[in-house]
Amino acid sequence: MSTLVEYESSERYLKSLLEGRRSECSSIVKDYLAEKHSFNELYENVLKIALYEVGRLWEYNKITVAAEHLATAITEGILNELYPYIIPNKYNGKKVVLTCVDKEEHQVGIKMVADVFELNKWESFLLGRGFPTVELIKFIDKIKPDVLAISLSVYFNFGNLKRMLTDINSIYPMLPIIVGGQALLHFSTSFLDEFPTVTYLTDLQQLEDFILKF
């Protein structure tokens, strides 16, 4: 649960994002971490809340495409700045491949997921934006990951997610897959019942629990 401090931080971060103030966003993040908050708390209670609101505003035509892209780019840049503090000194031998749904252009959420795996000493292979399923299957065959993670941010790519899961499950029926993302808030996840190896995670705490139990 987020605290008042976290709420105020996310509100300040959102305001700075919408104004395109990259340096101010970076300062908010640094100050938040300096207060002994974890990376998970930063991602879940500040960055995610702000970006979900940016996405909602964009969906309802309250902000321009340019404003949405700028907010995404600023946050992605900040994640890149933080990565040197996240990468472990030694991996534990487990591997995860991470990608967005085919045709998906938003990769900030899956980058946060990759960081959580890295914080838990997993080796992450982040493919990012809209990787074609046929190429993803080839990559899975090469890397042989313990887990596959897929992110869906924009609801009109929902059909692509279902097709991806069907194609991957037909070849790797035992591969554990986790899915998440803002777009899934718009749909019932009952469709996942036909994919017994797929787990829907709503937040980074659930992700942390999944990793610790794996």
Burial of 17 (0-12, 13-18, 19+ CB in 10 A): buried
Structure tokens at 20: 């395109």
pTM: 0.93
Over residues 14-29, the pLDDT tens digits come to: 999 999 999 999 999 9
Q: Buried b / exposed e across 31-63, counting CB within 10 Å, b at 16+?
A: ebbeeebebbbbbbbbbbbbbbbbbebbeeeeb
The domains found in the chain, sorted by start residue, are 4-85 (1.10.1240.10), 95-213 (3.40.50.280)
Burial of 129 (0-12, 13-18, 19+ CB in 10 A): middle
Over residues 54-109, the pLDDT tens digits come to: 989 998 999 999 999 999 999 999 999 999 999 999 999 999 999 999 888 889 99
